[in-house]
Amino acid sequence: MFSKILIANRGEIALRVIRACKELGVQSVAVHSTADANAMHVRMADEAICIGPPASAASYLSFPAIISACTITGAEAVHPGYGFLAENAEFAQILEDHGITFIGPSAEHVRMMGDKITAKKTMLELGVPCVPGHEGGVDSANEAAAVAAEIGFPVIVKATGGGGGRGMRIAHSPEQIDSAYSTARSEALAAFGNDEVYIEKYIERPRHVEVQIIGDGKGKAVHLGERDCSLQRRHQKILEEAPGPSITPEMREDIGSRCAAAAAGIGYSGAGTIEFVFSDGEFYFIEMNTRLQVEHPVTEAVFSVDIVREQIRVAAGLPLSFSQSDLAIRGHAIEVRINAESLPDFRPCPGRVTAFHAPGGPGIRMDTPIYMGYEIPPWYDSMIGKVIVHASDRNSALAKLSQALDELIIDGIDHTVPLFQELVTNPDIKSGSYDVTWLERWLLGRFQ
C-alpha cells in the first residue's frame, strides 16, 4: 500500500478521496490554487501545498506544478478525482515516467477510450453493442452528407475527443448536415484541440444508462450494475439513480457481464464507466469514462462498497476485495447535484455562504466542500455538493430525498435546491417515465 497520496483536484471529490485515504491509513496531500487557500480539502488533508494562481491552467491543470508537489511532499501516487486531469493520457504517462503511480487505468487505456472512434471499434470487437454509425472520422462536408444519407436521418455529429455535450450537433434532415458538421468541428477544435468528428444514428428520446466496472489490471473485472442518468440539461447530468427504473434483472446481467468481460479483455485497471443510450429494451454504447464518476455514491450505496478505496487498492497492486458473486443490489439510491446557480437561467452564482446546514438521518449522505463563511470562487465548476439518499425501494428513496432537500439550508447564494424540491413531486419523475430530453422540455414549459 502507498504511504502518501496526492489528490490532484479540489472540492467535494478531493474530500472524498481524503476520507478513503484516512480509512486506509494513508497520508494525503491536498493541492490548491491561491483561490482555494481556505477550502475544506486543504483543511482536512494531512499536508497541503499551493500550486498556482486561481486559473485552472496555471494550477489544477499544470503538469509541472503537480509533479513538483509530488516531489516536494514525497507522494508516491496521484488520485485525479474527476474532471481536470482525470482522463488526460499525457498526464498519466508523465506520472509513470517520473515513477509516480496514477490511480486509474493505464495511459494506453485512457488514450484508447478518449478517442471515440477507437473506443467504439474496441467495444464492438469485445461484444458490446454500439450505436449504428460510420466506422471512422469524417473529413469533409460532402463526406458527412454521404455518410448521413447512408445511415439515415436523424444523425448526430460528434467530436472524436469530446465529452460533456461539447462538439455534438444533431441533423434531422439533409439540409441541416452541413451546419451540424461545421459547428461540431469548430466547437471540438476550441474545446479539445482536435476537430475530428464522426457520425452516428441519433437515437431519439432514449434513456442514459451507464454500467460501473472495476478491473484489477490483470485480466479480472466485475460490474456493479447500472445507473440511470437520464435527467439532464444541455447533456449535463443533474440526477442519477441506481438501479435504473427501466432495467430488468435479466437486462442488467446481460449488459453487466458484457461490460465486465470487455474490461477484463483489455486488462483494464481501476474504476471505469461504460455509457449507453437505452431505447426499446436495447443498449447502444456511446463512450467509456476512464475515471471515477460524480455519481459513484449511488452505486456505493446499493452495493455497500467503497469504490474509491478499491481504486487505491488496485493501483497499489492488490487484488479486488470482492468477486462478482459477492455483489448484490440492496434497495434504491438517488443523487442530485446541487449547483451555485440562479434560476431559471442557471447562471453561476459564486459568493459567501452565510448559513449552512446539511441534512441528516438514516440513508442520507451529503458530499460538499462548503461551510458557513465559505467564499465560493468564480473560477471553477458551479457544483457545490451532492445529496445522496438510500432506501428500501424507489418510492421510499424519493420520499427521503424530498425530506433531505427540505432540511438542507444554504443561505447567501442562489442554488438549485428549489428545482429539485419541485422535481421530486412531478408525476413523471415519481413514475420513472422520463428520458434525456424530458428536463429541457419541462424547463421550457415551466419557465417560459
How far apart, in Å, are the Cα atoms of 8 and each of 43, 63, 311, 339?
Answer: 15, 10, 15, 22
Q: How far is CA 119 from CA 80, 131, 258, 396, in A?
A: 21, 12, 15, 38
Residue 445: the pLDDT is: 81
**Number of neighbouring beta carbons within 10 Å of residue 97:** 10
φ, ψ of residue 33 to 5 degrees: the values are -85, 170
Rounded Cα distance, 247 and 225, in Å: 10
- Give pLDDT tens digits along the chain (448 positions): 999 999 999 999 999 999 999 999 999 999 999 999 999 999 999 999 999 999 999 999 999 999 999 999 999 999 999 999 999 999 999 999 999 999 999 999 999 999 988 999 999 999 999 988 877 789 898 999 999 998 889 999 999 876 667 889 999 999 999 999 999 999 988 888 888 999 988 998 999 999 999 999 999 999 999 999 999 998 899 999 999 999 999 999 999 999 999 999 999 999 999 999 999 999 999 999 999 999 999 999 999 999 999 999 999 999 999 999 999 999 999 999 999 999 999 999 999 999 999 999 999 999 999 999 999 999 999 999 999 999 999 999 999 999 999 999 999 999 999 999 999 999 999 999 999 999 999 998 887 6
Amino acid at 244: G
What pLDDT, on the 0 to 100 scale, is given for residue 260?
98
> What pLDDT sits at residue 132?
84
Q: Write out the H or E segment, with its range, that includes residue 171.
A: strand 166-171
CA dist 293 and 166 (Å) reads 18
| Cell numbers that stand for 439 in this block | 428536463
pLDDT given at position 170 = 93
**Alpha-carbon torsion angle 34, 381, 110, 205, nearest 10:** 180
Residues that are catalytic: 291
The three cell numbers of residue 273 are 464507466
pLDDT, position 163: 67
Residue 161 pLDDT: 78
